[in-house]
Amino acid sequence: MKALKYLLAGLSLALVFPLAHAKPVTYDFDMEGMHASINFKVNHLGYSWLVGRFDKFDGHFVHDAKNPKNEKVEVTIDTRSVNSNHAERDKHLRSDDFLNVGEHPQAKFVSTSVTNQKDGTKLIKGDFTLNGVTKEIEIVANKIGEGDDPWGGYRAGFEGTTEITMKDFGFKMDLGPASAKAYLDLHVEGIRR
């Protein structure tokens, strides 16, 4: 009789715990430890790559291993923090030729859908607002991993890539067809709330 009681208790736990882990979980970007980055590159006149990053941003994501329809991503970028490792160029990037940070000091991405793809990546569609213009973009994301951290928390990390056509977002300066697009790489490590 005791064996049956333990077996039933074990089965109950086996049924309950998977459901607990299947729930959507919200993660905040680890900005304190700065285990996140938003980098960009633009072809420079067809000769080389100009690379840079945004030093200030924040965000969160909802991860649901069982149902991607519950997943969400939201990112806010301080465009004034653009950093291409060249002060004069950064001043120009902040001007109304490009990011127009005087009028639009923030860029924002809010997902509208997340789909699991056959190759194991996630296709994240959403609205990206930059320079006062909102357009739908797609981010292809890959899960790096998740698990306990040494400080008693739980973390999950993703990387993603996307590209934008700068003219679509009202950038005035045209550097020619080789430089029409900007490519963004996002690396985020989130701490479970």
* Tokens 């296709």 sit on residue: 123
Where residue 150 falls among pLDDT bands split at 50, 70, 90? very high
In a domain, 187, yes or no: yes
**Under a CB-based contact definition with an 8 Å cutoff, are residues 114 and 160 in contact?**
no
In a domain, 139, yes or no: yes
For residues 178 and 158, what is the distance between their CA atoms, to the nearest angstrom?
Answer: 29
For residues 20 and 80, what is the distance between their CA atoms, to the nearest angstrom?
Answer: 41
In a domain, 92, yes or no: yes
In a domain, 182, yes or no: yes
Would you say residue 98 has pLDDT above 60?
Answer: yes
Q: How many domains does the chain have?
A: 1
Where residue 95 falls among pLDDT bands split at 50, 70, 90? very high
CATH of the domain at 179: 2.40.128.110
Nearest to 180 by CA among 159, 164, 157: 164
In a domain, 184, yes or no: yes
pLDDT of residue 2: 52
State how far the alpha carbon of 98 is from the alpha carbons of 10, 95, 162, 187, in Å.
Answer: 61, 6, 18, 24
In a domain, 15, yes or no: no
Q: Cα–Cα–Cα angle for 66, 188, 136, nearest 5°? A: 75
Would you say residue 7 has pLDDT above 70?
Answer: no
In a domain, 116, yes or no: yes
The boundaries of the domain holding residue 140 are 23-192
